[in-house]
Structure 1
Amino acid sequence: MQIELLDTFLDLVETRSFHRTAERLDVTQSTVSARVQTLEAAVGVRLFTRSRAGTDLTTEGLRFETHARMLRRDWNEAKRAVAPTGEAAAIMRIGIQNDLADAYIGDLLADFRRMFPQMAFYIEPDYSAQMCADIVAGVHDFAVLFTPKPHPDLHFVTLADLPYRLISSDAETRAEIKPETYISGHFSAAFEQAHRTALPELIGAPLSVGQSSTIASLLLAMGGSGFVMAEKAAEMVATGRFKYVADVDAIDQPVFAAMHLRQRVSKAHRKLTRMLAKRFLRSDPARG
């Protein structure tokens, strides 16, 4: 069976629109229809019904969905299993939240290689939603992310709460923060909600950024106020150019390990999870 048939079926399950799936897969709508017809002929049942209200799975389509996800994942795992890895016995493909990659990738990769000296690693910084999709599809084996996306094939473990501190070049208290020079961080939905609760007067700041290192660079270049990871905040305060905003508490960002449900009992995945939890604990300045 062509893997494109499964990819098209699963995308259509998500979009419920032949037109939208065609756009997302960068093919014509007639190609999507042809692939669905080919797949339906192969399995011997009708998988979708189409109406003015949209596209829906048939009862048989609902039954096939779980098997389609497993088939696609097994195919991707099989391709990776036979891919060249040099002298390594196996390869582990790991996604990591963009914000964490800049601050931790060196230490984490050193830990990975000490723990699994015979394994090759492929590391890809990305955002949470894409990493969850990649694990479901079998493209990645493991991910370290900020926002779990619920899915029946995914398993999540809480690793840590990483503090972000508010620093400023021109304000020592909350009342002195200038909205026009404030850089808002949209690191995750959880962080944004905590931020709205803690600092409602700064909602709608003219500049919003989704990465701590970028906020740090902007603050160094232009001055102003913003939340950055606690470790980076300590470095910037130590330069004498910035101060902690004294009456604003740190905002914690939860960090999670993500893996396929079938791999939650894997020895390698469990060792990675424990190692990451210890690494983030050691990296938290508030805990010494």
Structure 2
Amino acid sequence: MDIELARTFLEVMAVGSFCGAAERLHISQTTVTTRLQTLEEKLECQLFTRNRNGARLTADGERFVAHATALVQIWDSAKTEMKLAQGQGSRLRVGAEISLWNPMLSNWVSWLQRNYPKITVNTDVSDANTLLAKLENGFVDAILVHRPRYLPGIMVEQLLEEKLIHVQVPNNSSPNLFVDWGTEFKAQYDATLPQPRQTAMSFNLGPLALHVMLKSGGNGYFRTRVVEEYLRSGQLERVPSSPEFSYPVYLVYKSSTTTSVLDLAFEGLREIASDYKEWQV
């Protein structure tokens, strides 16, 4: 299928009119209309309903959005890769969960820049499900996650064994701060801890919760390497008799996409993972 048909469809959807899409694509409104008619003929369905207020997706149009987006993304990615293949270097597309961008991903990219400056690196920081979907669809080469998905053709390698530990501010241990470290952690927390997490202040970002706790007091579960320096300085202390929870870091990639460049990059990542300098928020 002509990628420009899909691209035009997405522009009409984004601006809500054929006229607006024509302006953004720098083509005539007649061309937009012709492209959409051609696309509807190929798909044998109506994608938009038009009225004086613009264009609105039909039910079939809504179903086609994901397909059109994937087509355009794959084509744009292919063009970028082929342009690079004619040049001097190689490209790596790596991703990490939000909690792993610093220092794991940032240190990895820095290592690549120092040791292999001709390698172009694209980074993607997102939630685990989004990253895993991008990996399966070929939009990234490798990702760093805490909870991998075991599927045929997907390689999973544990890089290090991180832990979540219960800490508090000395003499100022209220309120309870609950950080959502994932489904498994919540199940372990509910089964082990006496205080219900529903009554605590809730966060979906560990660095934010730690910042609040250090500034105003409280207690909560955080990654060992993040709170290590605060434990040494006395700003935080371990909560006595509280359990620890495992929170390992995994490298995930497709077995079919391994290359010499990826192998070099993985060597650097393993070197970084074996370095036990404290992590930072």
For Structure 1 versus Structure 2, the TM-score category normalised by the shorter chain is: 0.5 to 0.7
- CA-based RMSD of the aligned residues comes to 4.6
State percent identity of aligned pairs: 13
Give the match's secondary structure for 1:183.
strand
Give the match's secondary structure for 1:282.
coil
Task: Tell me how far 1:151 sits from its aligned partner.
Answer: 6.5
Give the match's secondary structure for 2:242.
coil
* 1:201-259 CA distance string (max 9 Å, x none): 23214322233322221111111111222122111112212111131232221322233
Q: Aligned equivalents of 2:247 and 2:35: distance in 1?
A: 42
Rg larger in 1 or in 2? 2
TM-score (norm 1): 0.65
Q: Aligned equivalents of 1:221 and 1:73: distance in 2?
A: 45
Tell me: CA distance 1:140–1:118, structure 2 relative to 1, closer, same or farther (3 Å): same
Alignment match of 1:242 (pick from 227, 236, 247): 236
Task: Tell me how far 1:169 sits from its aligned partner.
Answer: 1.0
- Which amino acid letter does the alignment assign opposite residue 190 of structure 1? E
- Which amino acid letter does the alignment assign opposite residue 159 of structure 1? Q
- On the 8 A contact 1:186/1:208 being kept in 2, the answer is yes
Q: Does 1:126 align with 2:92?
A: no
Tell me: CA distance 1:81–1:254, structure 2 relative to 1, closer, same or farther (3 Å): farther
Q: Aligned equivalents of 1:262 and 1:192: distance in 2?
A: 34
Q: Which residue of 2 aligns with 1:282?
A: 275
Q: Aligned equivalents of 1:96 and 1:215: distance in 2?
A: 20
Q: Does 1:82 align with 2:83?
A: yes
Q: Which residue of 2 aligns with 1:230?
A: 224
Task: Tell me how far 1:167 sits from its aligned partner.
Answer: 0.9
Moved more, 201-210 or 242-251: 201-210
Give the match's secondary structure for 1:139.
coil
Tell me: CA distance 1:36–1:276, structure 2 relative to 1, closer, same or farther (3 Å): farther
Unaligned runs of 5+ in 2: 22-33, 46-58, 61-66
Tell me: CA distance 1:249–1:75, structure 2 relative to 1, closer, same or farther (3 Å): same
Q: Aligned equivalents of 1:4 and 1:128: distance in 2?
A: 31
- On the 8 A contact 2:167/2:237 being kept in 1, the answer is yes
TM-score (norm 2): 0.67
How many residue pairs align between the two structures?
252
Equivalence map 1:198-277=2 (5 Å): 198-199=192-193, 201-260=195-254, 262-263=256-257, 265-277=258-270
- On the 8 A contact 1:163/1:252 being kept in 2, the answer is yes
Give the match's secondary structure for 2:140.
coil
Tell me: CA distance 1:248–1:3, structure 2 relative to 1, closer, same or farther (3 Å): farther
- Which amino acid letter does the alignment assign opposite residue 283 of structure 1? Y
